[in-house]
Structure 1
Amino acid sequence: MQPRTITITALITLLAATTTGITPNVSQPFSAQIALAQAPLTHNPEAYRLIEQGNQQYKISEFQAAIQSWQQALAIYQKSGEQIGEGIALINLGHAYFSVGEYQKALEFYQQSLAIQQQLRDCPGEANSLNHLGEVYRVLGQYQKAIEFYQKSLALIREIGQSANTDHYALLQQEATSLSNLGNAYRNLGQYQKAIEVGEQSLALLKKMSELPSRDSFAILKETVNSLTNLGHVYFYLGNYQKAVECYKQSLAVVREIGDRQGEANTLGGLGNIYYSSEQYQNGMKIYQQSLAIARGIGDRTSEGIVLNNIGALLATNNQPELAIIFYKQSVNVREAIRRDIQGLPKEQQQSYIETIANTYRSLADLLLKQDRVLEAQRVLDLLKVQELEDYLHDVRASENLSNGIADRAPEQQIKKGYEAILNQAIEQGKELSQLESLPVSNRTEVQQQRVIELRKNQEQITQQFQEFLKSSEVAALLIQLRQTTVGEGFDLDKYATSLQDNLKRLQQDAVILYPFVLEDRLELVLVTSYTPPIRRTVAVKRKDLNRAILEFRDVLKTPSRDAKDSAQKLYNWLIKPIANDLAQAKAKTIIYAPDGQLRYIPLAALYDGNQWLVQRFGINNITALSLTEFNTKPQSKLHIFAGAFTQGNYSIQVGSRQFNFQGLKYAGIEIENLAKIVPSTTRLLDQQFSRDTVLQMNDYSVVHLATHAAFVEGQPEQSFILFGDGKYVTLRDVGSWRLPNVDLVVLSACETGLGDKLGDGKEVLGFGYQMQRAGARAAIASLWQVDDGGTQAMMDAFYAALENGSTTKAKALRQAQIALITGDYKALGQQRGLEVQQGTRSRLSPTVNSRLSHPYYWAPFILIGNGL
């Protein structure tokens, strides 16, 4: 039986029969639906031939071949100075790089094309470039910016359409594409009704085009399929799986007819989601495998990463965690490769993609912990923290041992090798099938048609072979081996574990590393000691209950008239009590703490065990991520302090969309004056003297102390800032360009976090610590809230008195100062100096404040991030 040929009119009619007013929200980006630019008729027949050759290669998803053809054409056009041809080659190169997930290159080519179209006053070409720039911004998660570009494209198209000398067919095609893409952006934002409206407008235009003499049926069919696939997403997310399956199957028939391999991979992915969500796991796996083979075969890394993740999720749901971990790892590594390729983009254009990666990291870490593969989970958690920093700051670099993603164990490598052999067979046959299917049925020979049928049967058999492999005795034996061993041959976990333990031993602080990991249904605690394998403890507390307790605790911490002990003990019971015996057995004296999510907004030191605050039992210093922290560099032998303060005046500043009003800090001048008395080698800069220009002086000092307003706000780094004494400010983004390689410690004594209506995930706190570390400073001290009534001055006096003792580490000095305020006993700061600090504090502060200094409001907000030596 001959395959049927689908006409545009028939497809539009089919669409009209299935369209209703329903909408979706799809997390995965789908490829741009491209109307390939045709070569101009010029005196460069070779360039013309290369453009058309690239077009044909692109249509059958041979993207790398198309890139080569178009690059050659571009060189010819540039050499001859033919800007029309150059613009066409540039926009087509943008399409190809977009299709393989190289979004930075796609953006560059589209921008170059736009500049040429504007210079030539080629309004249709300009509208086309604007539309495709919008697509790049959309897949990078900048939906509002994408919408602006689509709307500009549409406005220009409609303006051109009023001209009598207009190619109305081409404009209809561009308008339909821009409307379809605009609908996608609305869908991504959850604005479903708008998505439906513009989607229906797009379909109406496509139907109108189908009634005109067709010059590019491929482009129309491809765009129509896009609309049909998007409608399937609508039904899927609204739970109408039957309608969704109908849409996807209709789309599949067309993409296979026109040889659109990328469209086929994406549509199969949507269909796989339907089967997975309706618990038809075998069918779901079958469809995902087909999608994976196509995506990898054509080099579509975005789709490959997504479908690998979905296979992992399906296997995990189907109680096959070891196999799920293998696919999650591959998904992470594919996405890491894409992330590295987009690091040259403007920073705000990377955020959404990295958030997608973080979700996969959490799923992988969750599964690893459930399998008691704690050391592997710890590495994933560390990578997750790097990704969270990357999400916030956009230009974070992981250490070398993490830069290549996540390694496989030996049994995992064997399983991966087996399934990839099957996958490669599917890829090779899929390429041959795609080439044959690209021929119109009427043009195929009888031999070619028989080969098409044979290859389609083979595809089904390969899919079955894949399923049988995962169930085979060979894989079962490898999974048993995987469960029985903690270190596989060729895997670097033993080396990594030794490195962790050696680092802790070299500290000579009896230190342990604590990684809490917050999941929806539980809290996982990972403890790394210097002598034992990593320890995992599970706490049955839901994320929402933990976050509620964090908010309650933070509220009482910031109110010195309220008793904080009950709230502090509740969190102690979740975070410390489950590992109390482990800490005792390790004889731990220092906890190196890598908090997760909203835990970053509360100080571990202020947890309460029913008898003592945690800081009375342990030294504590926070880290951004283990892989980003250098623990063993010792500080300079003598303190040499740069001290800047904002003491008087009133400033109103606008940061982003927010207005802040600040007054000079009443006690900041006294704080700096006392600091100079304790450490005579202190340079004091007050108010107007303390300006942005003084940043250039900071690297000449071992400690930089800033007694001024600072705010770390949930959102973008540009919204977090440090205020200078002259009313100017720097954002957290700006701090990344500071150079402080000689600085051991940066202290911000009056900063605040969590200033919004609700707490975020604490990435701004993480970001501050990393930016200071990136600037070269070994450690930073920041306050989680601003302390009034001279409390900061009391705390800083005690801290520097302890730090002035050359044998005291930064972490130990902070702990001694905190204990002094808790107990009222300042002897640990030094007999004479402790007495001076105690007398000074009592004489300067009111009796009410003096009586409350033991409350964590005064001593707990100050956290040390980084190297605690």
Structure 2
Amino acid sequence: MITNSKLLRRWFAYFAIACLSALICTVKLPAIATDITFNSIDHREGESSIETSVSPSPPLPISPPKAEGRRQEAEGRKFISPSPHLPISPSRTKGLVNKQTKSFEQQARTLYEAGQFSEASQLLEQALEGYQKQRDTIGQAVVLSNLALSYQQLGTWKEANQAIEQALNLLKQAPKDSPELSAVWTQALDVLGNLQLAQGQADKAVDSWEDSAKLYTQLGDSTRASRSRINQAQALQALGLYRQARLKLVSLGQTLQSQPDSLAKATNLRSLGDALRAIGNLDCNQQDSQNCLGATKVLQESLKISQKLQSPEAIAAVNLSLGNVAWAQRQVALAEEKRAQADRKATQALSYYQQAIAESVNPIQTQAKLNRLHVLVELRRWQEAQALYPQVQQEIAKLPPGREKIYAQVNLAINLRKLSTKNQKTGTFTTPGVQEIAQILADGRQQAESLSDVRAQAHVLQELGQLYEKTQQFSFAQNLAQQSLNLSASINASEISYRAAWELGRIFKAQNKREEAIAAYTEAFDALQSVRSDLVAASAEVQFSFRESVEPVYRQLVDLLLQSAGEELQVSQKAGEKQLQSSAASIKSNQKKLTQARKVLEALQVAALQNYFQEACQDSKLELDQLVTRLGLERKEQKAAVIYPIILDDRLEVIVKMPDQEELYQYPPVRQSQEEVRRTLKKFQNNLQDEYRFKGVRRSGKTVYDWLIKPISDRLESSEIKTLVFLLDGSLRTVSMSALYDGKQFLVEKYSVSLVLGLEVRDPVPLKHESLKVLAASLTDPPQGFEQYGKLPNVNPELNKIKEAGVSLTSIRDENFTSNQFNQQLNQDNFQVVHLATHGQFGADRNSTFVLTADKQIFVDDLRNMFSTLVGTESKAVDLLVLSACKTASGNDRAVLGIAGTTVQAGARSAIAGLWSIADASSVKFSQTLYQNLGQPGITRAEALRQAQLALLNDRRYTHPRYWAPYVLVGAWL
């Protein structure tokens, strides 16, 4: 059945899987930036020198995914430059003007590449005047396009949009026989796509880059055509269309492989490798899949070509990229608890960075050293980090003034702060003090101000404020954070705004100013939601750790809201008759905060689900509250209550939604620390899977029952609730809610149980037994190479029992259960239920999540492709996906996440799977009872599952919870 490889204990591990940790600097490549170079448009492949323009990583480790790379950050976006103008017979004066204009352009380009965007803009404006005097339409269009890029860097979006619009209008008026028109027009479209994507118009950016790619192809410029395709894939990713983005990158990879070796090809392969890293395709696990393309493989090919052509700069750049991939692979290994592999990947990352240092000069050398310093700090190799940071300081000092230098200074300051914190605890080595670190940041601030770089100012101010916050100088910290927030808001930089607002929230909280803290945290939350698609991407290029830098925003806000809501409830309960008005106000505020807390937690969980499979959920959905209320009114025999437990640092909180009342109910908090809750749940989990710990199961089950159910048990009975729907948090997902024990009965003996991962569910459609069509597939013997999974001798008898249950069954068994046969059968009829009795695995990410067929692994991407013809047709959508086999999921808190994600990939309304190893023999009886009840009048999916579990519980052979408790229903329960 489906095995879950060992995962990290906390369910947001994958947010770090596909990403580099904080402070990793990257070469800004065309995969992430519109790479418009100064090379003449008519340059030939092979003559283009390697691009050494490097985009520094964001100065703080908590920027949302891709926000810096895709929005407003465009250090890798070069000016456009037309081929030399046709010779004209100008007057002497006009010739002088032309020479001066060219000089302005050249100086502007140099300043832009140095990150001095304000000065570059001023010179470009002078160049524009020169071309206007010459009535040179093409020259004006080029300068205006470059001005648009410079204005974008300065955050002046109105001026940027006006500049590119003027450029395109001029090109429309240019002589049609101009030999430069098509080339300049195409590059202007690149700039337009860049601006559109940066301003959240990803759909328009897709079209702009599609047009530019076609025009580049017509011009015979395959290099720039490839870069436009990479950028287009990036825009698709921003729209949540990850499958389309991957397919486009795979297609591009095939195109590049067919081209002759050149530095241009090496550069594009490097860009493609970074783009694949950005969507989590680190390795090529799907050897027999045409859609398999891994970042490591592509970058190694780029390195091979660069070495063949003996280009030190190209070799250094690709080594830097390989180091970033290796560090991301280390995160994957940690998520799967493969410590030895994680250590090897960390060593590889350090080696790649060292090779980049050896091969390069500034700025790549500086960034490679910063990356290496960061890795040493993260690995706690303090002595080596201490020896390296003076070298980094020296390299940074050599950089010319500009954003790159500012960001390098801030990254250095962050690493030094970590080193300083460690030394304060051990005192074993010498590191810069707080004053020295503050001076580094102050120098960066001064540079940013002199360059009129608002974005850089906002970054520096936020980090400087955090330094003051750490030293508890709250007045200074608050002032700096507020300045950062104001500046970032002025340029719509939500990825900076959320950090500044979060910092303000922490400062207010530390000073016991709860309402101010809630307001600041809410502002941070709203800013995060505005870059929601970036969070979903959670790319390997992300310059932060999600668990450290984003998840706490949600949880700390929930913590504050529930504290305040609880106190307001106490005020309302203590109010006398003369205080009724005050009491009503307190109740209203209490409900508002409970509602907000639930919304915040749901947003966090949905982001995790989407990130797990890197696919936005766009199905029509129904709000959970509406469904529960509707069932309470229309189908009293199916009344459901929703329970939301929330694990916080110092307590467990529970919110309940009842069908017969609008108000949410909040339990008195359980005063157990997060670690105490985790230990209790771990013991419960172990007891559930050990057949000889029946007493332990009841004891642990009673503890968790008292936490989650007992405070509301009387109300559940009086309201005649039939189904309990849980939106579980963290390690609560590792245990079966059906096995909670009230001292006499297990929960499954009283209620049907279902799990959801958000406040919305796909609009449920009740099943009808008489018309139920089931597609079932079984595999007794695993395919060659997967013998470790063992045989499943009872899967065919399991399918026989499904047939005996009276449903219409189409089965594919053993050697006939190939991926192609399954795909064909799936699309030949309208199956309401798909039942897979085979081995499989829920891994740390979509690349390690699969089911086995007789000929191969079906990965989730393949699964999505198979079900794609069904997903868009509501009448053909699968109502229930049953994942029945020996091992479904490991009991880790990401297991339910993976099950639910697979359900989404298959377009199913719900899924049944197991939280731990399921006994092959017991699954026969389980399936028989499940299908006997499924779709019967008045029996919901949740109730059919309950009856199947009870059949095992009441069988002396399977009475222990290890046999019946692992089964969970995720999604629609009707």
Equivalent residue in structure 2 for 1:769, among 900, 903, 906: 900
Shift of 1:354: 6.0
Using a 3 Å threshold, how does the CA distance of structure 1 residues 223 and 91 change in structure 2: closer, same or farther? farther
Shift of 1:286: 0.8
User: Which has the higher mean CA deviation after the structures are superposed, 783-792 or 734-743?
Assistant: 734-743
Distance 2:554 2:969 in 1: 27
Q: For each residue in 1:721-780, what CA deviation from the matched residue of structure 2 results, as whole angstroms up to 9, or x when unmatched?
A: 2122x152212343333245343222122253554xxx6432x42232243245332221
Checking the alignment, whether the CA contact within 8 Å between 2:926 and 2:949 is kept in structure 1 is yes
Checking the alignment, whether the CA contact within 8 Å between 1:721 and 1:729 is kept in structure 2 is yes
Equivalent residue in structure 2 for 1:511, among 640, 655, 676: 640
Distance 2:971 2:947 in 1: 18
Checking the alignment, whether the CA contact within 8 Å between 2:888 and 2:915 is kept in structure 1 is yes
Equivalent residue in structure 1 for 2:862, among 730, 734, 754: 734
Shift of 1:134: 8.7
Checking the alignment, whether the CA contact within 8 Å between 1:350 and 1:391 is kept in structure 2 is no
Distance 1:71 1:125 in 2: 36
Write the letter of the residue equivalent to 1:682.
Answer: L
Residue 704 of structure 1: aligned partner: 834
Equivalent residue in structure 2 for 1:592, among 716, 725, 748: 725
**Secondary structure of 1:736 counterpart:** helix
Shift of 1:799: 2.0
Equivalent residue in structure 1 for 2:738, among 602, 605, 608: 605
Residue 650 of structure 2: aligned partner: 521
Q: For each residue in 1:425-459, what CA deviation from the matched residue of structure 2 results, as whole angstroms up to 9, or x when unmatched?
A: xxxxxxxxxxxxxxxxxxxxxxxxxxxxxxxxxxx
Using a 3 Å threshold, how does the CA distance of structure 1 residues 754 and 503 change in structure 2: closer, same or farther? same
User: Which has the higher mean CA deviation after the structures are superposed, 241-250 or 605-614?
Assistant: 241-250
Residue 612 of structure 2: aligned partner: 392
Residue 574 of structure 1: aligned partner: 707
What pairs with 1:149-168 in structure 2 (closer than 5 Å)?
159=359
Using a 3 Å threshold, how does the CA distance of structure 1 residues 375 and 246 change in structure 2: closer, same or farther? same
Shift of 1:617: 1.0
User: Which has the higher mean CA deviation after the structures are superposed, 577-586 or 265-274?
Assistant: 577-586
Residue 842 of structure 1: aligned partner: none
1:179 aligns with 2:369: yes
Residue 243 of structure 2: aligned partner: none
Write the letter of the residue equivalent to 1:749.
Answer: S
Residue 285 of structure 2: aligned partner: none
Distance 1:814 1:225 in 2: 58
Write the letter of the residue equivalent to 1:814.
Answer: L
Q: For each residue in 1:83-114, what CA deviation from the matched residue of structure 2 results, as whole angstroms up to 9, or x when unmatched?
A: 99999999999999999999999996796898
What pairs with 1:197-216 in structure 2 (closer than 5 Å)?
197-206=387-396, 209=398, 216=400
Equivalent residue in structure 2 for 1:61, among 154, 157, 171: 154
Residue 868 of structure 1: aligned partner: 973
Shift of 1:716: 0.9
Residue 463 of structure 2: aligned partner: 270
Write the letter of the residue equivalent to 1:853.
Answer: Y
Residue 719 of structure 1: aligned partner: 848
Checking the alignment, whether the CA contact within 8 Å between 2:769 and 2:936 is kept in structure 1 is no
Distance 1:177 1:152 in 2: 12
Checking the alignment, whether the CA contact within 8 Å between 1:783 and 1:862 is kept in structure 2 is yes
Checking the alignment, whether the CA contact within 8 Å between 1:33 and 1:223 is kept in structure 2 is no
Q: Structure 2 length normalisation: TM-score?
A: 0.62
1:647 aligns with 2:789: no
Q: For each residue in 1:397-429, what CA deviation from the matched residue of structure 2 results, as whole angstroms up to 9, or x when unmatched?
A: 367899xxxxxxxxxxxxxxxxxxxxxxxxxxx
Q: For each residue in 1:496-528, what CA deviation from the matched residue of structure 2 results, as whole angstroms up to 9, or x when unmatched?
A: 966753355445412101111111211111111
Write the letter of the residue equivalent to 1:517.
Answer: I
Distance 1:129 1:86 in 2: 30
Q: For each residue in 1:667-700, what CA deviation from the matched residue of structure 2 results, as whole angstroms up to 9, or x when unmatched?
A: 2122222222222522232101122121332353
Residue 749 of structure 1: aligned partner: 884
Distance 2:189 2:935 in 1: 63
Shift of 1:222: 3.8
User: Which has the higher mean CA deviation after the structures are superposed, 742-751 or 67-76?
Assistant: 67-76
**Secondary structure of 2:785 counterpart:** strand
**Secondary structure of 1:700 counterpart:** coil
Shift of 1:297: 2.4
Shift of 1:606: 0.8
Residue 692 of structure 2: aligned partner: 561
Shift of 1:529: 0.8
Q: For each residue in 1:270-291, what CA deviation from the matched residue of structure 2 results, as whole angstroms up to 9, or x when unmatched?
A: 2211222333322221110111
Q: For each residue in 1:818-869, what CA deviation from the matched residue of structure 2 results, as whole angstroms up to 9, or x when unmatched?
A: 2233235xxxxxxxxxxxxxxxxxxxxxxxxxx3322111211111112222
**Secondary structure of 2:760 counterpart:** helix
**Secondary structure of 1:679 counterpart:** coil
Shift of 1:559: 2.1
Write the letter of the residue equivalent to 2:834.
Answer: V
Write the letter of the residue equivalent to 1:203.
Answer: Q
Residue 541 of structure 1: aligned partner: 672
Equivalent residue in structure 2 for 1:279, among 472, 483, 486: 472
Using a 3 Å threshold, how does the CA distance of structure 1 residues 235 and 198 change in structure 2: closer, same or farther? closer
Distance 2:683 2:231 in 1: 53
Checking the alignment, whether the CA contact within 8 Å between 1:101 and 1:338 is kept in structure 2 is no
Shift of 1:370: 1.9
Equivalent residue in structure 1 for 2:813, among 661, 669, 686: 686
Checking the alignment, whether the CA contact within 8 Å between 1:619 and 1:811 is kept in structure 2 is yes
Write the letter of the residue equivalent to 1:731.
Answer: F
Residue 628 of structure 1: aligned partner: 761
Residue 910 of structure 2: aligned partner: 779
Using a 3 Å threshold, how does the CA distance of structure 1 residues 87 and 181 change in structure 2: closer, same or farther? farther
Computed over aligned residues only, the root mean square deviation of the Cα atoms, in angstroms, reads: 4.8
Residue 332 of structure 1: aligned partner: 525
Shift of 1:561: 2.9
Distance 2:832 2:906 in 1: 14
Checking the alignment, whether the CA contact within 8 Å between 1:134 and 1:147 is kept in structure 2 is no
Write the letter of the residue equivalent to 1:318.
Answer: Q
Shift of 1:352: 6.3
Write the letter of the residue equivalent to 1:746.
Answer: L
Shift of 1:550: 1.9
1:43 aligns with 2:233: no
Using a 3 Å threshold, how does the CA distance of structure 1 residues 225 and 97 change in structure 2: closer, same or farther? farther
Using a 3 Å threshold, how does the CA distance of structure 1 residues 615 and 197 change in structure 2: closer, same or farther? same
Using a 3 Å threshold, how does the CA distance of structure 1 residues 127 and 397 change in structure 2: closer, same or farther? same
Distance 1:507 1:108 in 2: 57
Residue 277 of structure 2: aligned partner: none
Checking the alignment, whether the CA contact within 8 Å between 2:620 and 2:762 is kept in structure 1 is no
Distance 1:777 1:809 in 2: 16
Checking the alignment, whether the CA contact within 8 Å between 2:594 and 2:664 is kept in structure 1 is yes
Distance 1:198 1:230 in 2: 14
Q: For each residue in 1:779-838, what CA deviation from the matched residue of structure 2 results, as whole angstroms up to 9, or x when unmatched?
A: 2111222333621112222222233744422221221222233235xxxxxxxxxxxxxx
Write the letter of the residue equivalent to 1:708.
Answer: T
Shift of 1:189: 6.4
What pairs with 1:135-150 in structure 2 (closer than 5 Å)?
none
Which stretches in structure 2 are left out of the alignment for 5+ residues? 1-58, 86-97, 122-149, 210-225, 233-262, 269-305, 333-344, 425-432, 566-592, 871-875
Residue 598 of structure 2: aligned partner: 378
Distance 1:743 1:800 in 2: 16
Q: For each residue in 1:537-576, what CA deviation from the matched residue of structure 2 results, as whole angstroms up to 9, or x when unmatched?
A: 1222222222222222222222223312122212212222
Which stretches in structure 1 are left out of the alignment for 5+ residues? 1-23, 162-170, 211-215, 403-494, 654-659, 825-850
Checking the alignment, whether the CA contact within 8 Å between 1:622 and 1:864 is kept in structure 2 is yes
Checking the alignment, whether the CA contact within 8 Å between 2:481 and 2:504 is kept in structure 1 is yes
Q: For each residue in 1:16-36, what CA deviation from the matched residue of structure 2 results, as whole angstroms up to 9, or x when unmatched?
A: xxxxxxxx9944588989599
Checking the alignment, whether the CA contact within 8 Å between 1:99 and 1:300 is kept in structure 2 is no
Distance 1:529 1:332 in 2: 27
